[in-house]
Amino acid sequence: MSKGWLDIFHEKHDAFLGGDDFDDVIMEYLVNEFQRIEGIDVPEDKLILLRQEDELAKINLSNTSEVVVDLSYATGVSGKKLVKITLTRSKFETLVNLLIERTRNLCKSCLKEAGLTAKDVDEVLLVGGMARVPKVQEVVTEIFGSPRSGVNADEAVALGATTAIQAWLVSQ
């Protein structure tokens, strides 16, 4: 009985490691900072606004060394004082260090499982939003060398999947 293409080609990834994980870490930090400064919890109905601020901070930290998060706006607390937190890229990297290490370990375990060394890999293409995070790029560069740039990552993923399916069909 012939195997289907899904039985032959396996994507190697940590299905539970992605941008949302990084957002969760930043969100926890911002909520804790707000509680420390204001002495109250973030209003439940304002958490979605705070989540938007946290995602924007993560995105902006890919291009700048620090961002200011206006917790007064995001939490709806205003009046007496503005509550703003400066989040530096360095602080962000410290907060997400465990996730960065999971990324590093995942790269190494995939190589080991495939029976390869980093020198056996010709090119690495980073895809997804976290591919823009300088620390993620640094870890990949440490292991494999510089990732490929100048490629539309979404198109490359689609082309790779199409090629894999075509290769399987030809082999049948």
Spell out the residues 6+ positions from residue 172 whose beta carbon is closer than 8 angstroms to its own.
2
Per the structure, the count of domains in the chain is 2
For residue 135, being part of any structural domain is answered with: yes
Tell me which residues of the chain have a pLDDT lower than 70. Answer: 1-16, 73-81
- Give me 33's structure tokens: 């900072």
Q: What is the reported pLDDT for 78? A: 60
For residue 131, being part of any structural domain is answered with: yes
Contact 85/68 with Cβ under 8 angstroms?
Answer: yes
Q: What is the reported pLDDT for 38? A: 82
**In this structure, are 10 and 28 located in the same domain?**
no
Q: What is the reported pLDDT for 80? A: 56
**In this structure, are 89 and 152 located in the same domain?**
no
**In this structure, are 81 and 135 located in the same domain?**
no
Q: In terms of pTM, does the model score above 0.85?
A: no
DSSP codes of every residue in 88-152: EHHHHHHHTHHHHHHHHHHHHHHHHHHT--GGG-------SGGGG-HHHHHHHHHHHSSPP-SS-
Query: Which residue do the tokens 């941008």 mark?
Result: 19
List the domain range (segments joined by +) for residue 72: 19-95
Q: What is the reported pLDDT for 127? A: 79
